[in-house]
Amino acid sequence: MLSIRELTAGYGKLEILHQLSVDIQVNHMTTILGANGSGKSTLLKSIFGLTTITGGSITYNDREIIGISTENISKLGIAYVPQRENIFASMTVRENLALAVRKASRAEAALRIDRAFDLFPILTKRANQRTGLMSGGERQMVAIAMGWLMNPSLMLLDEPTAGLAPLVAKEVFETLYNLSQKGITLVIVEQNARTALRWCEDVCILREGTLVYQGRNDAFAEDDSLLHTYLGLLSIGKQ
Ligand SMILES: Nc1ncnc2c1ncn2[C@@H]1O[C@H](COP(=O)(O)OP(=O)(O)O)[C@@H](O)[C@H]1O
Ligand SMILES: [Mg+2]
């Protein structure tokens, strides 16, 4: 389990998350929702050791990870797929994937890249294409595949469907669901609440750097007023 207790974090002296506590269940798909600027990205970055943390604790499988370098956090099995600039546009799909396994032996790297192409078949045809020339959905698949190649037990994804057409967003979530079925725990920050609520069984909602709701997605299906209460229909889009 990923357990966050009274986390206070931000950037330098600027405090963004205020004593935020949340538990993320292993093998679940959890979505983090909330208005722009509510601290969703800051939460993911904090778990991955990329913010200034001034209080609280973050444990993964009972081990404190605050203060551990990003490199060592990834060695503990946590992968982070940032929202932007998550792949190299001037390099091909295969070259990007190779970067993710550069520390493995040549044989092991080749094997894992083959497995990545099995898991993300959409990339097979594009293996030798420069990612800068590909669609947003395809580029996102490359970013997710790179995260997966790090061999994680927990993946943190920041708005993996941002800017994608609904059908493409669905493909991304299908892919994430497949990873979840393989036993990977997923924490997914989303702008599109309706899509996220369809796929992710656990839901956290942030407001101004604090957690204002944690529950199951079923609750939203049963009670439409929850969406209004916590998100405001205007901010979640219609899909
Ligand atoms: N690198 C940064 N330096 C200073 N402030 C930042 C930085 N990144 C984000 N912020 C601020 O932190 C707050 C939360 O941002 P963020 O976590 O990106 O929100 P969200 O992902 O929910 O839109 C915002 O007020 C934003 O301006
Ligand atoms: Mg964000």
Mutate to test the pocket of ligand 1, among 8, 14, 15, 16 (most ligand atoms within 8 A of CB): 16
Q: The CATH number of the domain where 14 resides is what?
A: 3.40.50.300
Residue 63 lies in a domain: yes
Looking at the fold, whether 64 and 109 belong to one and the same domain comes out as no
Looking at the fold, whether 1 and 110 belong to one and the same domain comes out as no
Query: What's the gap in Å between 18 CA and the centre of ligand 2?
Result: 17
Looking at the fold, whether 46 and 116 belong to one and the same domain comes out as no
Q: Is the pTM of this model over 0.75?
A: yes
What are the residue ranges of helices labelled H in the chain? 40-47, 70-75, 93-100, 106-119, 136-149, 166-181, 193-199, 217-222, 225-230
Residue where a domain stops, chosen among 151, 183, 199: 151
Whole-angstrom distance, CA of residue 51 vs CA of residue 44: 9
Buried b (16+ CB within 10 A) or exposed e, 152-191: bebbbbbbbbeebeeebbbbbbebbeebbeeebbbbbbbb
| Domain assignment of residue 57, given as a range | 1-77+172-230
Residue 58 lies in a domain: yes
pLDDT in tens, 12-62: 999 999 999 999 999 999 999 999 999 999 999 999 999 999 999 999 999
Query: What's the gap in Å between 160 CA and the centre of ligand 1?
Result: 17
Distances from the Cα of 206 to the Cα of 34, 110, 183, 234, angstroms: 5, 41, 26, 16
Three-state secondary-structure class, residue 164: coil
Whole-angstrom distance, CA of residue 143 vs CA of residue 15: 29
Residue 220 lies in a domain: yes
Q: Could you list the pLDDT tens digit for every one of the 239 residues in the chain? A: 999 999 999 999 999 999 999 999 999 999 999 999 999 999 999 999 999 999 999 999 999 999 999 999 999 999 999 997 789 999 999 999 999 999 899 999 999 999 999 988 889 999 999 999 999 999 999 999 999 999 999 999 999 999 899 999 999 999 999 999 999 999 999 988 889 999 999 999 999 999 999 999 999 888 778 887 877 644 444 44
Residue 49 lies in a domain: yes
Residue 158 lies in a domain: no
User: In the chain, how many domains are there?
Assistant: 2
